[in-house]
Amino acid sequence: MRDNNPQLILKNAQTILLVDWPDADVPRLLVSAGFMVFGYSPDNYTSIGFRADGGGLVFTKVPDGPGQVDIVNVFRPEEEHAGIIARHVLPLKAKVLWLHPPVTAAKTAAFAKENGLVFVDRIDITVVANELSAK
């Protein structure tokens, strides 16, 4: 995928890894929109879903990681991006690196391009997911 049209990217994606997020609405909205969502916190991958009763979010450890993801959405400072790309984006064969606003990073954009990744920033992934769900 070479196109960095956010709607097209999400329309063609199934799995998203969140490396931090600003609030619980991010995983909640992405799961509600039908994506398989994973989270990462230091040394721990989790699968994110809803409780069986339809209540809050449930985080289930995934010991071996998600295997492969389509998008890695990052809400971390620029100085951590190269490590995130090396430890998560490339090993999980993600095609898209999406920075969650207000995070932006010119160096990260260049690094993503060097690694053949589609790069998206300045656009909230949940806004795009909501737009697609409304269609």
- Cis peptide bond upstream of 102, omega within 30: yes
Model's pTM, two decimal places? 0.94
Instruction: For residue 127, give the H/E element and its range.
Output: helix 125-134
- 33-56 pLDDT, tens digit per residue, is 999 999 998 889 999 999 888 778
The predicted structure's pLDDT at residue 43: 82
CA 66 – CA 59 distance, rounded (Å): 13
The alpha helices in 1-119, defined as continuous H runs, are 6-11, 25-32, 81-84, 106-114
Per-residue CA distances from 13 to 7, 62, 78, 102 (Å): 10, 20, 24, 23
The predicted structure's pLDDT at residue 26: 96
Q: Are strands 15-19 and 36-41 parallel, antiparallel or unpaired?
A: parallel
Asked whether the predicted pLDDT for residue 117 surpasses 50, the reply is: yes
- 11-29 pLDDT, tens digit per residue, is 999 999 999 999 999 999 9
